[in-house]
Amino acid sequence: MTDLKGKVALVTGGSRGLGREMVLAFAAEGADVIIASRKLDACAELASEVGERFGVRALPVACNVGVWDECDALIDAAYGEFGRVDVLVNNAGMSPLYPSLTEVTEALYDKVFATNLKGTFRLTALVGERMAAGAGGSIVNISSMASLHPDPMFLPYAAAKAGMNALTEGFARAYAPTVRVNTIVCGSFRTDISKAWTPEMFELVGKQVLVGRVGEPNEIVGAALFLASDASSYCTGTHLRLDGGFR
């Protein structure tokens, strides 16, 4: 039921971390893929790997999703190459560290919201409208447990992801019944964000979740394939927690 042959999937933040794992999983299920991130070289490298391993088409596109015009250009490139997008994954995100709440600059705050929320809104609107006018599709937003349990050390990020959760439900209503919009609410994964963590932070995460450890990037694949494919045909406007049993 997770077969994606003949489908086209667009993944933002797709060149590394969770995005890379989802790109590989979709391609393995037969989907052509559009790999978007700010670094074209990284996207192109993964696109080459995808084509060689799975024999599907892969389009690399440089895009800063926090910039409205670049979102528009990404969608133009996707539809120009493939004529359709069946799966959109809004995965691009960022959560920079800061010394204190009073030292969060306006530039940092705006950048966090642009990357995690503004881009999701624009891309979902552009793709969702075309999906609804055509054969439908699936949109998957990658949120965070921070949206449900905000911590002072990543408060702008938490607020932006909470906004993403709201977009999921709103867009699900806007483009029903043929377009499904869902969220994966992620716990802590061993991605680029975790590179700045101390051993104590990893230990703390292990104590906070029932499985006792940080998630590995490939552990997002099952949830992503479920929501992207017909396996979740009766699922929309929902938030799937993928957090290792946060307690």
Q: Which residues are catalytic?
A: 157
How many angstroms separate the CA atoms of 80 and 203, rounded?
Answer: 47
Residue 205 sits at φ, ψ, to 5 deg, of: -60, -45
Contact 58, 27 (CB under 8 A): yes
Closest CA to 216 of 246, 185, 186: 186
> How wide is the angle at C-alpha 185 spanned by C-alphas 11 and 31, nearest 5°?
25
How many angstroms separate the CA atoms of 125 and 244, rounded?
Answer: 31
How many angstroms separate the CA atoms of 11 and 28, rounded?
Answer: 15
Chain center to CA of 39 = 16
State the amino acid at position 133 in one-letter form.
Answer: A
Please report, for residues 49, 177, 191, 192, the alpha-carbon distance to residue 37 in angstroms, rounded to integers and kept in the order given: 16, 30, 15, 14
